């Protein structure tokens, strides 16, 4: 599967019960993320799924997000090849913020997409 030919979902159409998987780096996550999302940086995902998958299972829909959608497209393609039901959040966190959807921050400052 071409990493740019992956299923996508609009910010307004998130599947019910989906796990939101944020694959950005820790500093990006700290500045602003979707409340309740699971944070696993892209390069850590294979090891995390092998040893501590948590809520990320092949039986649960997964919405993958990064800043713009490039990294999450690669992760979505990889997850689908592994048997997961994954979609890429179209436009990433920038689209989420532009839609006025809520975010939280771990820096003490107002949340922002970094």
**5-40 pLDDT per residue, tens:** 799 999 999 999 999 999 999 999 999 999 999 999
From the list 45, 66, 75, 77, the catalytic residue is 66
Q: What is the pLDDT of residue 2?
A: 52
**57-99 pLDDT per residue, tens:** 999 999 999 999 999 999 999 999 999 999 999 999 999 999 9
**21-30 pLDDT per residue, tens:** 999 999 999 9
Q: What is the pLDDT of residue 4?
A: 55
Full-model pTM: 0.95
**DSSP E strands, the chain:** 8-9, 19-22, 38-39, 61-65, 85-89
Q: What is the pLDDT of residue 84?
A: 97
Pick the CATH number of 8-98 from 3.30.540.10, 3.40.250.10, 1.10.10.10, 3.30.70.870: 3.40.250.10
Distance CA 11, CA 93 (A): 9
Q: What is the pLDDT of residue 87?
A: 97
Residue 67 annotated to the active site:
no
Which residues, in sequence order, are CB contacts of 105 under 8 Å at separation 6+?
30, 31, 32, 33, 111, 112
């Amino acid at each position: 599967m071409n990493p740019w030919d992956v299923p996508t979902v609009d910010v307004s159409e998130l599947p019910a019960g989906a796990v939101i998987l944020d694959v950005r780096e820790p500093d990006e996550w700290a500045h602003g993320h979707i409340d309740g999302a699971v944070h696993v940086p892209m390069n850590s995902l294979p090891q995390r799924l092998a040893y501590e998958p948590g809520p990320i299972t092949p039986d649960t829909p997964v919405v993958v997000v990064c800043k713009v959608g490039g990294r999450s497209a690669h992760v979505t393609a990889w997850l689908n090849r592994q048997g997961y039901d994954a979609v890429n959040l179209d436009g990433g966190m920038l689209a989420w913020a532009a839609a006025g959807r809520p975010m939280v921050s771990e820096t003490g400052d107002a949340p922002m997409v970094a």
